[in-house]
Structure 1
Amino acid sequence: MHITGLHHVAIIASDYARSRDFYCRALGFEVIAEHWREERQSWKLDLALPGGGQIELFSFPSPPPRPSRPEACGLRHLALACDDAEAMRGHLQDQGVSVEAIRVDEYTGARFFFCADPDGLPIEFYQAAPTA
């Protein structure tokens, strides 16, 4: 038995249409499948990530809030690999997304920055440092 990779990350949106627009338009993810689940009054959207992973975007009636304070226990953020942090940051700004300044990891030399999705989920864009 071996783990072969990450299959998907599931996200519950408070406003499905707004989050769908963010992940498809601003981030450019392609729709694999989209289903209205009548019995749950819920949308389920499967989005393709480069490299084979997926994001599952859900809507549910009145989802409870999740603690969002820094360093709260649980999933801290979603990190997406990119090949050019500066270009990715500029693209997001062109889409009207508020982004943080680019930082450099003091241990790895990687360049990265954060933004938030429409529900405040922190998303990191990570450009690995060139190998010598």
Structure 2
Amino acid sequence: MLKLNRIHHIAIICADYSASKKFYTEILGLKIVREIYREERNSYKLDLEVGNLYQIELFSFPNPPQRPSGPEAAGLRHLAFEVDDIDEAIAHLSAHEVVCEPVRVDPTTGNRFTFFADPDGLPMELYER
């Protein structure tokens, strides 16, 4: 059987690199590990750290095609971030004009969660532990 250790990274292609870089670093507070401009691809690659565990790779490409982004569309459903206090996290996002859906309760765990979107409309979740 294949032995997978953990998720190594998540790659996201953005339409507006400056807006997405600001969103992920200034609003979500992810730490920049490295930023590379790949001239041959006219593309940036921004490596981001999430809680010392996972890495998000943010890519820019000229004119990337659109894809369905709703949580019920085929493909990756959403990217979830664990938080200690969902109300505090929502207040922080709201202060930066990021709209969150009403908080729901996971019927299996009893934990609270909400959804919001990144600048490209990619679905994101806050999940309170």
The alignment's TM-score, normalised by the length of structure 2, stands at 0.94
Query: Is 2:119 the counterpart of 1:118?
Result: yes
8 Å contact kept, 2:69–2:123: no
**What secondary structure is seen at the aligned counterpart in 1 of 2:116?**
strand
CA distance in 1, matches of 2:89, 2:30: 14
The answer for the alignment partner of 2:50 in structure 1 is 49
**What secondary structure is seen at the aligned counterpart in 2 of 1:5?**
coil
Task: Give how far 1:72 is off.
Answer: 1.9
Structure 1 residue runs of 4+, over 4 Å off?
none
The answer for the alignment partner of 1:21 in structure 2 is 22
Task: Give how far 1:51 is off.
Answer: 4.0
How many residues are treated as equivalent by the alignment? 128
The alignment's TM-score, normalised by the length of structure 1, stands at 0.92
CA distance in 1, matches of 2:58, 2:72: 24
Deviations 1:18-54, CA, capped at 9 Å, x for gaps? 0000000110001000000000000000000114101
Counterparts in 2 of 1:1-132, with a 5 A limit?
Answer: 2-128=3-129
Q: 1:69 to 1:31 in 2, by over 3 A?
A: closer
Task: Give how far 1:70 is off.
Answer: 4.8
Task: Give how far 1:7 is off.
Answer: 1.1
Task: Give how far 1:2 is off.
Answer: 2.6
CA distance in 2, matches of 1:6, 1:96: 30
8 Å contact kept, 2:71–2:123: no
Task: Give how far 1:71 is off.
Answer: 2.1
Task: Give how far 1:96 is off.
Answer: 1.6
CA distance in 1, matches of 2:34, 2:23: 17
**What secondary structure is seen at the aligned counterpart in 1 of 2:125?**
strand
Task: Give how far 1:98 is off.
Answer: 1.2
Could you tell me which runs of 5 or more consecutive residues in structure 1 were left unpaired when the two chains were aligned.
Answer: none
Deviations 1:77-128, CA, capped at 9 Å, x for gaps? 0011111111111111112211111111112101101110000001000013
Could you tell me which runs of 5 or more consecutive residues in structure 2 were left unpaired when the two chains were aligned.
Answer: none
